[in-house]
Structure formats: C-alpha cells, structure tokens
Amino acid sequence: MFQYFITIVPTKLHTYKISAETHQFSVTERERVINHAAGSHGVSGIFMKYDISSLMVTVTEEHMPFWQFLVRLCGIIGGIFSTTGILHGFGRFVAEVIFCRFRLGSYRSTSVPLPDGHTSNHLPRTTDNSTH
C-alpha cells in the first residue's frame, strides 16, 4: 500500500523585483507491505490525501538600513571584546592557581627570631650599616 500526503499552502511573495501569488506544497510518502498471512491487513493500492491550508503565508523582503547594520556590527565587536576579556581573566586566574601550587616554597612567610626570644612572621627591615 502506498500513501502520499500532500499539503498545499497559498503564498504571497513580495520582493523588490517581483510580486507573485503562488502555492507551496510538501509531500510525505508512506509505504506498507500488505500480507494477510503475516497479520498485516489493509487494502492494497495508491492513496493520495490532499490538505489545502486555510492560512496564507506572506513572504516580504526588507533591507536593513546602513546605520542599523553599523549598530549591530559594533554590538557584535563589543561582545567579542567583552567575552575575550572575561575568558582571559578566567584563564589567568586558573593559570595562577595551577602554577602557584607548584611554587609554594617561594611564597611561604619567613620567621625572623627577635632578641627577646619571640618570632616575627614579618620580614626584617633592611638597614645599610656599611656606611657607619
């Protein structure tokens, strides 16, 4: 059994070169083997089912003004710069976290013994005693 489903849609087309009234159509086909011994029942034949749509499609061509094109282009370029900045900042943060973990020894605070026996975690002041 062969079945064809045909849908027809009326269409108005308006462009700068042409204005026309036409129809669009779509076709869907379905095929099924009829075998009464295997339990597949039905009438063999070719069936066409038409569906004419009650809605009309209107296609209109419109050009964008040049200033609107420039505004959209600037928006796209600005979005690219913003996204790149965000990704760069995130990548830099991740790189600093990863690389700083391997260099933990260089970032440890140093303990300086004081004359009274206590320790200070601050770096000592450097004074130039060679001139005295």
State pLDDT tens for residues 7-45: 999 999 999 889 999 999 999 999 988 887 777 777 888
Residues 33 and 69 in one domain: no
Residue 123, pLDDT above cutoff 80? no
Query: Residue 126: inside a domain, yes or no?
Result: no
List 4's β-bridge partners, or say none. Answer: 29, 48
Query: Residue 95: inside a domain, yes or no?
Result: yes
Query: Residue 132: inside a domain, yes or no?
Result: no
Average pLDDT, the chain: 82
Query: Residue 74: inside a domain, yes or no?
Result: yes
**pTM attached to this predicted model:** 0.43
Residues 42 and 12 in one domain: yes
Name 52's Cβ contacts closer than 8 Å, sequence gap at least 6: 8
Q: What does the pLDDT look like over 53-83, one tens digit per residue?
A: 999 999 999 888 999 999 999 999 999 999 9
Query: Residue 20: inside a domain, yes or no?
Result: yes
Helix (H, G, I), strand (E, B) or coil at 16: coil
- Report the pLDDT value the prediction gives residue 35, as an integer from 0 to 100: 80
| Token code pair at residue 21 | 């009234």
Domains in the chain: how many in total? 2
Distance CA 65, CA 83 (A): 27
- Report the pLDDT value the prediction gives residue 130, as an integer from 0 to 100: 52
Query: Residue 43: inside a domain, yes or no?
Result: yes
Distance CA 32, CA 86 (A): 57
HSE, side-chain direction, 13 A CA sphere, residue 19: 1
Element (DSSP H or E) covering residue 68: helix 66-102
Full domain range(s) for residue 89: 64-104
